[in-house]
Amino acid sequence: MRELYPEIEPYRTHRLAVDARHTLYVEECGNPDGLPVVFLHGGPGAGLAPYHRRFFDPARWRVVLFDQRGAGRSTPFAELVDNTTWHLVADIEAIREALGIERWAVFGGSWGSTLALAYAQAHPERVLGLVLRGIFLARPEELRWFNEADGGARHVFPERWARFRDFIPEAERGAMVEAYWQRLTGDDEATRLAAARAWSAYEGGSTSLRHDPDAPGEFDEPHKAVSLAVTEAHYFRQRFFLEPDQLLRGVGRIRRLPATLVHGRYDIICPVKTAWDLANAWPEAELRIVLAGHSAADPAIVDALVQATDRLADRYV
């Protein structure tokens, strides 16, 4: 099985002001003369991690990564004003133009796959191809699956669900996202942080195929927990600023583009049916369902993603 490429540091970083409020952290890795690709992280609000640089052959790819609005090293921290799917789509174009890139590949996982589809459908002429992982289309059934009491994830991770549920009083559990939102945006700082950590522990601990119900999640660090929970709740409440089935209906705009869809068979955060539905609407795309959960770090996901980026580089380099 393929593994991640070796650890790598950026050869250049940027602070890009995209409006009067928001400034993005942007980094470039790999070969400055290589095939350009933009990496779109998950969440929204999760920010970058160093291993995100390693899905790409550094000799062949010019890898552009950025923390989305309110996340990571972008500022202001956890800012929700002017933070929508369409602001982020515009940010991706602003980065492309600032770096002088004519066309680039788009790589995104989980929420990053949603954003990648939205961007590609808005700007298909700027896209060379897509590599998508853990497909999420932000449809109503997907929004309820993981975070609401009538969703299905609670049957698979009952220990983590119980801790997520029990943070909210019983009378409010019929609308968990809304109940968390009230606490994440309330006046009490201790309550806000506790809500963020409860939200992020539930999600961040449910990503891997090898599940330890008591292990800390990948978003356990308080700074990341806050940006993830607040931003996700904001987007969930607004249905990710998308019309019903918008991304499925827009597939016709990108069907000519080469694409690989990688999804874990046992992904509980984003069930595999979502990838199946997208592949049925987009028969030209390659769908790879592998023995994994949701995490991009699960070995079978790494293998499939590295193979996909290598094949896309073979096509153009």
Query: Is 314 an annotated catalytic residue?
Result: no
**Catalytic member of 267, 295, 298, 303:** 267
Rounded to whole angstroms, the Cα distance separating 165 from 104 reads: 42
Tokens of 60: 């062949």
pLDDT at 246: 98
**Catalytic member of 57, 91, 110, 263:** 110
pLDDT at 217: 65
pLDDT of the chain, 317 residues: tens digit per residue: 999 999 999 999 999 999 999 999 999 999 999 999 999 999 999 999 999 999 999 999 999 999 999 999 999 999 999 999 999 999 999 999 999 999 999 999 999 999 999 999 999 999 999 999 999 999 999 999 999 999 999 999 999 999 999 999 999 999 999 999 999 999 999 999 999 999 999 999 889 888 777 777 667 788 899 999 999 999 999 999 999 999 999 999 999 999 999 999 999 999 999 999 999 999 999 999 999 999 999 999 999 999 999 999 999 98
**Catalytic member of 206, 294, 295, 298:** 294
pLDDT at 215: 73
Sketch out the chain's domains with CATH numbers: 12-139+241-316 (3.40.50.1820), 141-239 (no CATH)
Closest CA to 301 of 55, 60, 116: 55
Query: Is 67 an annotated catalytic residue?
Result: no
Question: Is the pTM higher than 0.85?
Answer: yes
- One-letter amino acid identity for 277? D
Closest CA to 173 of 150, 195, 192, 190: 150
pLDDT at 240: 98
Query: Is 263 an annotated catalytic residue?
Result: no
E strand or H helix at 287: strand 286-290
The Cα-based distances of 280 to 93, 208, 233, 274 in angstroms read 28, 26, 29, 10
Kindly provide the b/e burial profile for residues 198-233, where b requires at least 16 CB atoms within 10 angstroms of the residue's own CB.
bbbbbbbbbbbbebeeeeebbbeeeebbbbbbbbbb
Closest CA to 202 of 146, 280, 273: 146
